[in-house]
Amino acid sequence: MKQIPENKIKKFFLIISTSIFLIIPLIGSPYLDFLISMALVYAIWALGYNFLYGYTGLLSFGHAAYFGIGAYTVAFILTKFSINSFLIAILAAIVISTLSGILIGYLCVRYTAIYFALLTLAFAQFFYALCFRFYYITGGSDGMHVSTPYLFNFNLSAIENPIGYYYFTLFFFFIAVYVAWRIVNSPFGKILQAIKENTIRVEFIGVSTRKYKWYSFILSTMYSGLAGALYAPLFGHVVPDLFIISAEVLFATLLGGTTFIGPILGSIVFICARSYISAFTIYWPFILGSLIVAFTLLFPSGIVGTLEKKISHILKSEVS
């Protein structure tokens, strides 16, 4: 039997998945538009997180900090500063979250393993406390309303124009995927993968691993900031809890697996599962948490990793 080249399979899946994303609004369900927009936001976040966790091997418990910074920056610009240009707000969100990542990452990458993870968590808690205490600026636990963003003169309210907002998010998602793909397959990407596999060895081939861990951290905060920026008008409200939801991006990544498309698929499954389970019971965090624990134990390589293993097993048995 003639084997189909791997590249052709990849191209086929790319065309199919792109087409599905493009036609979702044609179904005519504003809720679905909202849901998938949210999944795309999480997918961008998880793609960035995967640079750090999946490719560089650094487990962060604090990436909600940069998501929150991105979301609050947009809220400030649109609501407090009354600048209604969404592009300016997004740019500012990316710049501020990246600057935070540069500073915090510089300190965190000096530590490894659990010390690194706890330090990232501590910084996220710090931002949460800051946001909570400075209520006269941030609205404290009540949070802040996010005004309608505009793309030039085009209304991008997620409520009034869910399709417009969906395509706007999809546009950024495609850019995020393309950039991530280029990075992962670049010489830089290979260095990150080598650091994950054997940090000490990388030092002995002439690479400062600390520097590259830092770069990876910065990249992930850039993506987190963009995701947070797209989240704010979608939800219409930002609250300090955004700074302490780091586990969600970790779950989404683990659920999909730390391959390239794993975090994307994991985010979609996570957001959809959360939405549907929460519609049935108020105890949804318990059920969702239990499902995630069970899934992680049974399928440690995530949805994509497990599927890849199954497919390669089938192909091998066919060949033999």
Partner 1 sequence: MILYTKNLVKHFGEVKALENVNLSLEKGTITSIVGPNGAGKTTLINVISGTIPPDKGKVFFMNKDITALLPYKIARMGIGRSFQIPAIYNGLTVLDNVRVAIISRLGKANKIFHKIDKEINEKANEILEIFGFLEKKNLLAQDLSHGDRKLLDVAIAFALDPKLVLLDEPTSGVSTSEKNIIMNTIHNVIKEKGVTALIVEHDMDIVFSYSNKIIVMHQGEIIAEGKPSQIKEDKNVERILLGVE
CB of 8 to partner 1, least distance (A): 18
Q: Does 194 bind partner 1 (CB under 8 A)?
A: yes
Size of the site for partner 1 (CB under 8 A): 25
Which one of the spans 33-41, 97-105, 149-157, 181-189 is the region binding partner 1 (CB under 8 A)? Answer: 181-189
Q: Does 202 bind partner 1 (CB under 8 A)?
A: yes
Which one of the spans 71-79, 88-96, 153-161, 188-196 is the region binding partner 1 (CB under 8 A)? Answer: 188-196
Q: Does 208 bind partner 1 (CB under 8 A)?
A: yes
CA 90 to chain centre: 15
CA 72 to chain centre: 17
* Pairing of β 144-145 and β 154-155: unpaired
Residue 10 or 145: the one with the smaller Cβ distance to partner 1 is: 10
Which one of the spans 66-74, 94-102, 185-193, 240-248 is the region binding partner 1 (CB under 8 A)? Answer: 185-193
Question: What span, in angstroms and rounded, lies between the C-alpha atoms of 65 and 246?
Answer: 8
Question: What span, in angstroms and rounded, lies between the C-alpha atoms of 110 and 106?
Answer: 7
Torsion of CA 301, 304, 308, 309, to 10 degrees: 30
Q: Does 5 bind partner 1 (CB under 8 A)?
A: no
Torsion of CA 177, 51, 216, 62, to 10 degrees: 110
Q: Does 157 bind partner 1 (CB under 8 A)?
A: no
* Amino acid at position 157, single letter: S
Q: What is the DSSP letter of 27?
A: G
Q: Does 313 bind partner 1 (CB under 8 A)?
A: no
Structure tokens at 203: 């030092």
Position among 183, 245, 247, 277 found at the interface with partner 1 (CB under 8 A): 183
Q: Does 197 bind partner 1 (CB under 8 A)?
A: yes
Question: Three-class SS of residue 122?
Answer: helix
Q: Count the helix, strand and coil residues of the chain and give each as a percent rounded to the nearest 5.
A: 80, 5, 20
Q: Does 63 bind partner 1 (CB under 8 A)?
A: no
Residue 285 or 300: the one with the smaller Cβ distance to partner 1 is: 300
Which one of the spans 64-72, 108-116, 190-198, 286-294 is the region binding partner 1 (CB under 8 A)? Answer: 190-198
Q: Determine contact, residues 302/258, Cβ cutoff 8 Å.
A: yes
Residues 260 to 279 in contact with partner 1, rule: CB under 8 A: none
Question: What span, in angstroms and rounded, lies between the C-alpha atoms of 82 and 60?
Answer: 34
Q: Does 196 bind partner 1 (CB under 8 A)?
A: yes
Q: Which residues bind partner 1 (CB under 8 A)?
A: 182-183, 185-191, 193-194, 196-198, 200-209, 212
